[in-house]
Structure 1
Amino acid sequence: MRASCLRRPSSRARDGHWLLAALLACAFSCSAGNLQVAPIVLEFSENQQANALWLQNTADHPINAQIRIQQWSQATASDQLEPSHALRASPAIVQIPPGQRQLVRIVRPTPLPTAPAQYEQAYRIWVDELPQISENQPAGLQFLLRYSIPAFVLPNGAQPREQIAKAPVDTSALQASWRLSADALILDVRNTGNQRVRLSELGWTADNGAITPLQRGLLGYVLAGQRMQWKLPLAMRLPLPGHLQARLNDAPVAQVLPTATR
């Protein structure tokens, strides 16, 4: 899940427009906010029609939120989002009383497809905290939360990945390559498998065993049957020769990426 903080002016602010104040990549939530969302990833089995998303309000006042869903692809080696009706939120707009939580059902339309897709289908669920509109609201800026939650519909016969013990990943479906520019490493990863792979804690390991961290925490996903590219700034030259390693699907230890220079 990715969460960001949006800063928006109240209705009495001078310019009357919403402003983007900060974008914070958080593993679970923005610490400054009162809206919490769980779980952080949703998975649908091939015959599952609905899933539960819980929104919790830790504030002392009601919170309004909107839930939207978009299809997620990487056809251009980058994240692409498009409107979709393959998943729907019910309800799509909620008000959560102070100290309470609200169930939102993420639903697949009926009847379900008779021929499951060859590859896992990916979506992003957007949960937006809505601005408070009140005469008692002090003039100024409101800090609002936006959550981006991955959701996946599994292909026929696939095993869920979020509810099983984490273990080393079979990397035979990954085809990765990298190249160096003047001040960056450009990493390109293709996933020929039928389920996503999540990369985190990317590092460079020299042949002498020295490890240079390239990305702490989550790097991103490579979706099923697709390709993703990242440009990673380098503060220093990498000691050559060596290889790239990363934690895959939150496995407890890093694994060597099957890469070749180009």
Structure 2
Amino acid sequence: MFAASRRWWAASVLGVLGLVAGQAQAASSVLIWPIDPVLEADQQASALWLENRGTDTANLQIRVFAWSQSGFEEQYQSQRDVIGSPPVAKIEPGQKQLVRLTRTKEVPPGQEVAYRIIIDEIPSAAPVAAPADGKTAAAVRFQMRYSVPLFAYGPGLWNKVDGTRDRDPKTAGQPDLSWKKVSVAGHNYVEMHNKGAVHARLTDASFKQGGQSRPLVDGLMGYVLPGATMRWQVPDGLPADQPLQVRINGATQVESLAPGR
């Protein structure tokens, strides 16, 4: 199980294996799509593609973890309900690899289950060429970690629009969000609860102050899974007593959520 305090977002760099002054080894650049895969109720498997856009061979480890939220933190646990195959991949420059995400257990009707696909790039043990001046060369080796959310659905529930399926968008599952301002140890937080059937992905969150839009968090604020409560610290000087302007699950329109709703 991963430490609860760690958070991974899609295509995020998490670790530096070595940090020594000197020559840096080039890392491969891995393109991942789709960035929001799902397992629909009638699907036993889904596809994730990895493409090496770099100049070096990419050696990757692929793992799928159960994802939950508790104590305002992300929780990741080992599981066998969804299997990623192959679990390791060696991708040459310019090539791509299909990872098959296969479910081994059905999701109960009307429920969404969340997972995180963690893709670790394993650095190669390539030698470092000696510099022309004959001095010892030190190398900087980076490990890239990518994290992709995966949501699986039981019968009667769906959330992601799919142009190949003829279904009314009004029947899509929706998050049901409420928030309040809380103070902890002298700091203000936005505390968001989701009592809906599906997750909420929150971006472009801001408050109005003096006629100006003040961001709460730049870019992606985070996720709130069904039944979970998450917190984000409010920057100093931002009162957080006005409606929160936020984009939910990539919607074209920003929603306005009043506090204590």
Unpaired runs of at least 5, structure 1: 14-30
Match of 1:178 in 2: 181
Preserved contact between residue 173 and residue 192 of structure 1 (Cα < 8 Å): yes
Match of 1:22 in 2: none
Match of 1:21 in 2: none
Preserved contact between residue 166 and residue 250 of structure 1 (Cα < 8 Å): no
Q: 1:77 to 1:174 in 2, by over 3 A?
A: same
Output the CA distance in 2 between the equivalents of 1:241 and 1:116.
Answer: 39
Q: Map 1:100-249 onto structure 2 (within 5 A).
A: 100-109=95-104, 112-113=105-106, 116-134=108-126, 136-138=127-129, 139-161=138-160, 163=162, 173-180=176-183, 184-206=187-209, 209-234=211-236, 236-238=237-239, 242-249=242-249
Match of 1:250 in 2: 250
Residue 7 of structure 1 aligns with an amino acid whose one-letter code is V
Residue 216 of structure 1 aligns with an amino acid whose one-letter code is D
Output the CA distance in 2 between the equivalents of 1:142 and 1:47.
Answer: 43
Residue 243 of structure 1 aligns with an amino acid whose one-letter code is P
Match of 1:70 in 2: 65
| Alignment RMSD | 3.0
Which whole-Å deviations, capped at 9, do the CAs of 1:182-214 have from their partners, x for residues lacking one?
Answer: 8743111111111111111111124x6432221
Tell me the number of residue pairs that the alignment of Structure 1 and Structure 2 aligns: 234
Match of 1:6 in 2: 15
Preserved contact between residue 127 and residue 146 of structure 1 (Cα < 8 Å): yes
Q: 1:237 to 1:219 in 2, by over 3 A?
A: closer
Output the CA distance in 1 between the equivalents of 2:113 and 2:49.
Answer: 22
Preserved contact between residue 174 and residue 258 of structure 1 (Cα < 8 Å): no
Q: Report how far residue 35 of structure 1 moved.
A: 1.8
TM-score by length of 2: 0.78
Match of 2:134 in 1: none
| SS in structure 2 of the partner of residue 79 of structure 1 | strand
Match of 1:94 in 2: 89
Q: Report how far residue 242 of structure 1 moved.
A: 2.4
Match of 1:85 in 2: 80
Output the CA distance in 2 between the equivalents of 1:244 and 1:9.
Answer: 41
Preserved contact between residue 44 and residue 103 of structure 2 (Cα < 8 Å): yes
Preserved contact between residue 48 and residue 98 of structure 2 (Cα < 8 Å): yes
| SS in structure 2 of the partner of residue 195 of structure 1 | coil
Preserved contact between residue 109 and residue 156 of structure 2 (Cα < 8 Å): no
Q: Report how far residue 33 of structure 1 moved.
A: 4.5
Output the CA distance in 2 between the equivalents of 1:170 and 1:156.
Answer: 12
Match of 2:3 in 1: none
Preserved contact between residue 166 and residue 249 of structure 1 (Cα < 8 Å): no
Output the CA distance in 1 between the equivalents of 2:176 and 2:76.
Answer: 24
| SS in structure 2 of the partner of residue 215 of structure 1 | coil
Q: 1:184 to 1:243 in 2, by over 3 A?
A: farther
Q: Map 1:29-44 onto structure 2 (within 5 A).
A: 33-44=28-39
What's the % identity of the aligned pairs? 31
| SS in structure 1 of the partner of residue 243 of structure 2 | strand
Preserved contact between residue 27 and residue 54 of structure 2 (Cα < 8 Å): no
Unpaired runs of at least 5, structure 2: 1-9, 21-25, 130-137
Q: Report how far residue 100 of structure 1 moved.
A: 0.6
Match of 1:52 in 2: 47
Preserved contact between residue 35 and residue 58 of structure 1 (Cα < 8 Å): yes
Output the CA distance in 1 between the equivalents of 2:241 and 2:18.
Answer: 52
Preserved contact between residue 28 and residue 58 of structure 2 (Cα < 8 Å): no
Q: Report how far residue 36 of structure 1 moved.
A: 1.8
TM-score by length of 1: 0.78
